[in-house]
Chain A
Amino acid sequence: MKSNPTLVKACLTWDKLTDKLKTLDTPEGSPFYSPVDFEPLKCRIDGNHAEVTVGSSPGHRTHIDLDEGTVTYYDRDPSVNEVMYDILSKEVGLTCSINVYEGVGCEGLTEDKVEDVFKAISMPTSMDIRLERCEAISYKDAPPNVARRKCKQRELQFYKTHIKNVV
């Protein structure tokens, strides 16, 4: 089935965005994306459905379905799922539910939100590593729950300032 052009355009935006993010470093001095996570990134679009591989772990994928109006993000990392839940529901404006050990499922996807979804899924790649290093280095003296909260906020802030409104 011929692919939906909105999905194709958004995928190409994601492609360029991830290329750009790959060149950045975190405040801890490590790459924004680890090479191991960046290498398998790919997106396959068939009709109104896109399947995006967002990392190196088996099953670290996102399904975007315009027929159903759904976005399903699969991850086993609770903190990453919490950040993705915030981005997809509060920033992109979808109606989402979260299972912290399985992922985030969202409804209410329409064509005008597709590009924002693709931008959002540039974030989870290597986010577990970024969070870990953020806590261990930048917030090493803070209580663990505070450090985790601060680091998750930092991820969200990065999305807002560097990704959300970038054309």
Chain B
Amino acid sequence: MSLTVEKHRHDKIKDWMQLEKEGRRRAYNREAPPYGDVEFLKKIKSAAKTISGRFFDLDLPRDYWLLADLVGSVADESQKQVRECIVSDTPRKDCVMAKRDDDTWRTEKKGISYAFYDLEMADEASKRLIGRRCTYLRGSIDPYNESAFLNDLTACFHVLLDAYRDKVANWQFSGKCAWRVV
């Protein structure tokens, strides 16, 4: 039987673990402007899309692919603000992703921070899946800066990778077919 299958599961996980590592490194580097963060966010968005598709293919409960979709959305929605910080050479620690205004978390330009609220929904999905939220700093740091944001997004991506390893890594995929290999 000749099979054309996508890149092996474990190779992908390896790439995604590197991505997680990169997220932590970027979050830690608070004094530097967020150069390269947009490309990083694009990679997270792409990985989350692949993971969500696999969760969906295997008919896993809604919260699995919801968490993946939310991580992807957050990575997408945050890019504009990060770009503005790059243009103004603002260090990650001063690059505002969300700021509390009365009871609403808003962007620097006073719009609602969709990234913040999608992370909140990711936290809810994470609670239902693993019994705890996936972010550590969201809501407790004000203003919510790029450094804290990257830390949280990476932490949610980590939960996603754990779920992928647990639920998908033992499956092989080709076209419309998925089959368990272990």
Interface positions of A (Cβ within 8 A of B): 1-3, 5, 7-9, 11-12, 14-16, 18-19, 41-47, 51
Contacts and interface: CB of A to CB of B under 8 A. Distances in A.
A106 B142 CA distance: 63
Contacts of A8: 1, 177, 179
A2 B181 CA distance: 5
Interface in B151-182: 174-182
Among B3, B178, B179, B182, which residue has the most Cβ atoms of chain A within 10 A?
Answer: B179
B17 interface: no
B141 interface: no
B108 interface: no
B178 A44 contact: yes
A46 B176 contact: no
B39 interface: no
B181 A3 contact: yes
Contacts of A11: 176-177, 179
A7 B174 CA distance: 13
Contacts of A46: 179-180
A40 B45 CA distance: 22
Nearest to B181: A2
A101 B170 CA distance: 37
A42 B175 CA distance: 8
A45 B180 contact: yes
A41 B176 contact: yes
Contact of B176 (A7, A18, A51): A18
B66 to A, nearest CB: 18
B70 to A, nearest CB: 22
Contact of A15 (B57, B59, B174, B180): B174
Given A42-B57, A44-B59, A9 B179 contact: no
Interface string B51-70: 00000011100000000000
Nearest to A118: B177
Contacts of B176: 11, 14-15, 18, 41-43
Contacts of B174: 12, 15
Contacts of B1: 5, 8-9, 12
Nearest to B3: A12
Q: Name which of B174, B176, B181 has the most chain A CB atoms within 10 A of its CB.
A: B176
B65 to A, nearest CB: 13
- Of A5, A8, A45, A51, the most chain B CB neighbours within 10 A belong to A8
A15 B177 CA distance: 7
Interface in B87-146: none
